[in-house]
Structure 1
Amino acid sequence: MKMKRNGPVMVIALLLVLLAAYQMMQNGQNARAAAHNSSELIRGKPAPAFTLKGLDGKTYQVGGEGEREKPLIVNFWASWCGPCHEEAPDLKRMYDKYAKQFDLYGVNVTKGDRLEDVKGFIQKYNISFPVLLDQEGKTAEKFRILFVPTSFLIDKHGNLRDVIHVLPPDMLEKKIQMLING
């Protein structure tokens, strides 16, 4: 009689053990996949390659084989982002000051933005560096963008050197100088 009452409990316990084992296997596979994908964003390793159209109508290619003439900052932003508005004047000043020594591409996460707002942002801050449009969000995915603004500092060999967010102007300038001299 006792065995009949414990039977359902044993079946449930067995199912829970099997479910736990299955979840552990899935987590292991997910961790391996994440480790494989994260190799795209390791400091000192090549930055992910991408091709995007700019507001100027030109096509820009980043990454891949070969060296660049200058180091590069890829800044992901959106017009609705408060910190992006805070950062824009500093990025413009740094670009105007060091444009001959590094490139700066502003990548608008257009999938979550409106083109009219993007153009208004560019006009408001008199942005002179190329603005690229990530209309499908695929480039932001490659760079695993969780929030904007996020900037990637890439040396002239195409390797990721640093990832930064809004910094005070003096710290931003130091990071840019290190990238240029790096």
Structure 2
Amino acid sequence: MVNKAFLKKNYLNILMICLLLLIVFVPSAKAFMLRGLMEIGLFRPGTTAATSPEAMPPAANLNGILFKDINGNVVDLGRLKGKVVFLNFWATWCPPCQAEMPSIQKLYTQFKDDPDFVFLLVDADSKLPEANKFMQKKNYSMPVYELASNIPEQLFKGTLPTTIVLDKKGRISFNEEGAANYAHKKFIAFMQQLKNNKD
């Protein structure tokens, strides 16, 4: 009798504790919650304060930073000068990475046929078969790579997810650690602006 009364009285508290435990111990539940928060307008990428040109590394510093796809094709970051590069470091087990993936897929779908844009999704664990299997399971079509060389801390300090956008001169124009909604209209406008910049 006491137990039933206790349960009835504390039903909402018990429900909240169960929900919290689910979010803490089930990565896909945490990713689902983060994705929901993105949809209501939280986790917008901050595109207003791009790195100042003096602080941006010149394109020459990017030469020799290599990425390899599952077929062995190698991309040299330094050779992508003249293109806007969207570079995302992620892992299959990372809930914030999973949460932002649908927005990256939308962004990729919008720009994939434009030769001025290159998308590099880099599996930080360097487990390409597993990463590609994850992409297929989720019906994502983004190209997945692994590191094929050392990478400077300026680009990746180890936080997942990390997203870098390089302008056409190879300068870091955007650097975000943590999940964000890359399908947001302000970010899309930012990408278009980088494409149209002449300097």
**1:44 Cα offset (Å):** 6.0
1:139 is paired with a residue of what secondary structure? coil
Matched residue type, 1:123 = Q
Contact kept, 8 Å, 2:123 with 2:131, in 1: the verdict is yes
Structure number with greater Rg is 1
**1:115 Cα offset (Å):** 4.1
| Richer in helix (by share) | 1
Question: What's 1:132 paired with?
Answer: 145
Question: What's 2:120 paired with?
Answer: 105
TM-score by length of 1: 0.63
State how far apart, in whole Å, the 2-side matches of 1:43 and 1:62 are: 15
Instruction: Spell out, residue by residue over 1:1-60, the C-alpha distance to the aligned partner (whole angstroms, 9 max, x if none).
Output: xxxxxxxxxxxxxxxxxxxxxxxxxxxxxxxxxxxxxxxx94364363311211233111
Instruction: Spell out, residue by residue over 1:62-82, the C-alpha distance to the aligned partner (whole angstroms, 9 max, x if none).
Output: 116x833x2111111111111
Q: Which of 55, 73, 77 is the matching residue for 1:62?
A: 77
Contact kept, 8 Å, 2:131 with 2:144, in 1: the verdict is no
Residues 130 and 115 of structure 1: CA distance in aligned 2, closer, same or farther (over 3 Å): closer
Confirm or deny that 1:74 pairs with 2:87: yes
Question: What's 2:170 paired with?
Answer: 158
Larger CA deviation: 72-81 vs 170-179: 170-179
Q: Which runs of 5+ in 1 are unaligned?
A: 1-40
Contact kept, 8 Å, 1:77 with 1:150, in 2: the verdict is yes
2:151 is paired with a residue of what secondary structure? helix
Residues 83 and 172 of structure 1: CA distance in aligned 2, closer, same or farther (over 3 Å): farther
**1:142 Cα offset (Å):** 5.9
Instruction: Spell out, residue by residue over 1:64-119, the C-alpha distance to the aligned partner (whole angstroms, 9 max, x if none).
Output: 6x833x211111111111111111111111111112141111111125xx444312
Identity %: 25
Question: What's 1:37 paired with?
Answer: none
Contact kept, 8 Å, 1:48 with 1:63, in 2: the verdict is yes
State how far apart, in whole Å, the 1-side matches of 2:74 and 2:87 are: 15
Contact kept, 8 Å, 2:66 with 2:148, in 1: the verdict is no
1:163 is paired with a residue of what secondary structure? strand
Question: What's 1:88 paired with?
Answer: 101
Q: Which of 115, 122, 126 is the matching residue for 2:135?
A: 122
2:75 is paired with a residue of what secondary structure? strand
State how far apart, in whole Å, the 2-side matches of 1:150 and 1:57 are: 24
Matched residue type, 1:152 = I
Matched residue type, 1:144 = F
Question: What's 1:19 paired with?
Answer: none
> Root-mean-square deviation (CA), in Å?
2.7
Confirm or deny that 1:144 pairs with 2:156: yes
Q: Which runs of 5+ in 2 are unaligned?
A: 1-53
Question: What's 1:6 paired with?
Answer: none
